Structure 1
Amino acid sequence: MVVQRFLLVVFFILGCFYKASTHPLTPKVDTLIQKITKLTYNHRFLAAQKLVLEYLEEENLSPVEKFYGHFLRADINKAAGRATKAISLLVDCKKYLAPIKEDQIIFEALLYANMSECYFNQHQYQKAKEYALLSIQYSPNKNLRQNGHAINHLIIGYSYFKEKNYSAALKTYHEAIKQYQLVGDWCELPLCYNKIAAVYWNQQRYRLAEKALEKSLSISDSCNIDQYRLLSNSTLFEYYKYKKDYKSALDLTGKINALKTSIYAERQSHALHRLETNYEIELAQKENQNLKINAKIEAANNHFQRMIFIGSILGLLCLLTLGAFMLLLRKKKNTLLRKQLQKIEIQNKEREALLKEIHHRVKNNLQVITSLLHLQTNQNNDPKVQNLFKQSQYRINAMAMVHEMLYQSGNLSKVPLKAYLEELTNSLIRSIKGEQQTVSTQVEIPENIYLGLDTAIPLGLLTNEIITNALLHGIPKGKKGQIYLRIQEKEAGTFHFYIGDNGMGCPESLTLNKVQTLGLKLVQKLARQLSGSVHTDHSKKGCHYKITFKKVL
């Protein structure tokens, strides 16, 4: 026992020299680490995080101090059991390595070592081993952690143990022992010997396992560490049971129970102390907070009362002034608005009267042209020339009818399509067939379709050509017949116009692309003007057309 305590002192002194030679941190960082260690030991992780964040807000931090602040954020998350968050923060720490000029690899090795521990806590032993090996590879002789690379070797050894590579595990565990001895951390050796005992046990080298456990117990007693005593005694208990040395196993039972009781009592004592400390801190904080709040409330009440009195007087004056100003302003605006509305109304009436007059004059001028053509027709005895003049009259009448409907209706910009096409059709029947009433009409056009001049006139001329052709050539004189007009709106602004008769029909050889007559050429051109197309239907009696057109905007 004396020899072990002597060795403990020697290793402690050597460890101090080792730390002094591998410690590139600043006093500010050392102080922060001490505070964080104390807080995390007492499970006050939120307070530790707040302390680090306040530290990072300080100005003029050196690159090392800034790096270590972010590293400690990750370390607190690792201590709180949030391994995934800790790994994310450790990866983010890498960007703070670039400004560090000296010992950069030591800090990188520290990052990899902590990432190894995080993966180990997640039971990802292969990844844990990879990062532990990286940590050793980057800085084999220096390390910022108090125990050097000991934990890296323990993680690598356990990974080998899980892989059943027992020889590699033993070698690595012995490397961990060397690291602990190098830094003078003698009291961590029981953990290494317990792991070595587990390897020997799996190799069925029971005597060596027993020796390792006895060594672990001897050091645990020297360091007075109940957790390692319990671990070693429990493993030794299983070993005695395996050897059927029930007396020795029974003797250990009392020790194990006593250690469990001691550890439990110590944990309860720590927990109780933590609760008491937190409770006292919370009470003090609440008391201070209440005193501050009461003082603030009292000062605020006094100030509030004064402000209310002054504010009430000022507010009343402001409201009176504002009210008078608003009334004056509203009166002025209402007067101005009324004058403007009157002016606009007069202008609208003038424009409406002007538009009606224009449409009326255009219609009258077109009728004058029609009358002149009629007189010219009577002066010529050639039936062909007379027919040409009549067709021109029909076309001019189709345009005149649009202007007549516009100035007679309330809407001076749009023509009701159904009324227009009905009136145009009946006018052509009366002009060509007389008053015999031998030709009937079937009009299926929605009442709500209104078209502007740019659409109505081309559509009226197109309809005029088709109906004139039907009345002159399709339905013989004196014979009964029917003309139909049907319009369907397929999409917004796109229409299908079906028009035809039940007369003699169009020649089957009729092709619209090759026609020579002026009327059908006009039909094609007018359809194109309306961004549409014309198709004939020879499947039933008579002459039938399907015209697709769009509103001209």
Structure 2
Amino acid sequence: MPRSGSVLLFLLTTWLGFWGIPSEAQPIRVSDTSGLTHESAFGKPDTNQIRALLELGKKRLRPSYTRKANRDSALLFFRRAETLSARIGHRKWLEESQCLQGIAYLLDSNWPKGKAYFMKVVRERQERGDKAGEIRALLRMATTIFCDDCQENRVALERALALAREIGDRSQEMLILMEMGYQDFQLHTGDTKEAETKAQQVMAIQTQIGSKPLTRAYHELADGSVYKTPTEYGYLSNAYYFLSDISQARGDLNQKLFYILKVVRDAEESGQPDELDYAYYRLGNAYYELGQFDKSVVYYHKSLALSRKKGVFLVQMALANRMALTLLRQGKPREALRFLQDVVRKDLPYTYEDVLLLAQSFGACYDGLKQYSVAEMYYLRSVAWSDEVTSGFQYSAWRKISQFYVAHGQFEKASPYLTQLLAVPGKKIIPSHRIEVHWMRFKVDSAQGNYLSAIRHYQKYKTLNDSVFNVAKSKQISQLSIQYETEKKDQDLKLKGQAIQLLTEKSLLQQNQLRQATYIRNGIFAGAVLLILLLGLGFKGYRVKKHINQLLEAKQVEINRQNHALQHIVKEKDHLLIDREQLLTDKDRLLEEREWMLREMHHRVKNNLQIITSLLHSQGSFLKDKEAFAAIRESQNRVHAMALIHQKLYQADRLSSIPMNDYTREIVDYLINSFDRADIRREFNVDPIDLDIAFAVPLGLILNEAVTNSLKYAFPKGRIGTLRIEFKEEGPKIYRLVIADDGIGFPADLNPNLSRTLGMSLIRGLSEQIDGTLRITQTGGVQITLRFFEDKAPRIPA
């Protein structure tokens, strides 16, 4: 599937099938109709004949790979089935025939007729007082198509939700809320707030239902067979899939991976692995989005193996597309092409989305084989098919053909598709794809000589790229993946260890002691390396700044000399005025270069500090000693506080002052996330104060140490409390910083003013550096108050 909001569309397409249109992607068991003919479908009116008519009609609702759906023909079969059902008085088949006619009209975007057929069924259920049946009919109508702005869908869902709550059917209520959440993406132009609200409601219901599979999720069809809705799966999978799709729409691939791994773990540990085929498919997609193709293909193979074993292929078309793309990423275009050709030869029923994606995959295969004209033909075919699908897939077709043209230098052909993509509302395309569009537009404009436009798109590309894909998120994604793989390996080792015990208790103890000594030695070495790197970065920054100042001073002397000479040379006034203006122009240019160099310096310092953070994280992942690991994590937090200073400097218009309101909030939020204490409440009372970097750095480190101490010691054993941060200007250049918590306070035998711990020593040392007055009190918790005067330059400790 493409990386846009198509994950949501895929779920809805699958769910649509659960309510009415059988396909290879849905676990519906019906009799084989391959031998049916038009003649066998007409004759003595009985249920077998009606079923045959419906099956013939349903085959024409979907396209094949080479031809479009024939819904006019499908309607003829459905109408004949309706007539026969009415003649023999079979109510179930009559309603099924009417629903399928409604589906055929809805798929052709004929809402009045489609709704009219469904309302026949709804009114029949209302007359019988069958509220559960009315819910199913309304859901079937609302999930038949997923258009860009279907208010009729919303009305039907709201009615179904009210009925589900009236009869107390929590599983149906959960499904309806998820569907409403998915459609909120369309009705609210991709805004995830409404959808997230629905997700929380789904999570609450799923938690109440419990972790056991829901047997009432099996529903009987008119022919007596059954099919399964997603509510069959327990372990909060529905809610987590929903939240993962919301994270995808936000561009937060880290959070998406978190939710999918949660589903996989629960399914593996539950002893009920029925949904593992779909869970592995979703996990393979998550790794594919992150560029970890070796892992993605492993889980795709697992999904395919489980699907074949069950005989049910929930995601066969989507899986085939992703498998081919993954093989291409691994540099295997011929293998990918053979895989796709085998899929197409099976002549399976497709959706229009399937056909579009298969055309793109064929295009990518031929591109990899350097058969560019054939590849272009397939990409153009996907654009042609995009008229039959929703806007999300249409954007995918435009983006893929743009990638192809830009990659081969055909900028003129790519330009109109990029123009269409840039005209799409911002939230209709996920951030990672919008970043790519700006990058391609930059390359096209540069090649065509539109340099001003190219610069604007490059700036947008950089801004979006820095905001979405930063080192912190990459670190978290790696941590999630490593954690899952480590847990899997630990489970395997545990099973093997039960059968084979090769080590005595004495040898195990010796190995643990040796390993602990190694970790401590590595931690000390890492700390020394970190210190050397920090000193090197500081010295390099000082040398660069000193060199820039020397250049500016030399140029200023030259300007002054020229100005003095102009006062004494009247006869050559015109010529000297030109020289003077040229020198002033040079001065402005140098000032601009100085500002650019300062920005670049801050940017590089920030990047270097983030690299140090990543090194510390990598070192920490191998530590078993809790104290060593805690020391590494606290060092990460200190480096992050300094890196945040330089990030804000190069992103802001000012190069020497920091907005403390945003800075304090970001430090506190980062620490709370780092210690996984989202239950701690935060109260901010920070004036809009901009501080010089010489004061902002010590204050940021003081804030880091104080909040770290509160999170570590003030709220033990899951205790909930409040962190209060206050930063006020009490007079001209006179400031007061207060960091307080309502926790358990210091131990009775600890004097904070005499404590020699690293954290308290840093707080006292940094307070002295800025000539501040530090006061630490304990009344209902701990309160640290620091007053200082900004005009006085901070003292550098000896």
Scaled to the shorter chain, the TM-score interval is 0.3 to 0.5
TM-score, normalised via structure 2 length = 0.28
